[in-house]
Amino acid sequence: MIKYVIEKNVLDLSYKRNLQLLNAILIIGAGSFITFLAGVFLSPEKISSYSILLTIIGIITFIFYKRVDNILKDISNKIKSLE
Amino acid 44: pLDDT: 87
- Per-residue DSSP letters for 31-75? HHHHHHHHHHHH-GGGHHHHHHHHHHHHHHHHHHHHHHHHHHHHH
Domain span at residue 7 reads 2-82
Amino acid 24: pLDDT: 94
Contacts of 69 (CB under 8 A, 6+ apart): 22
Amino acid 4: pLDDT: 82
Q: How many structural domains comprise the chain?
A: 1
Give every residue of the chain whose pLDDT is below 70, as ranges: none
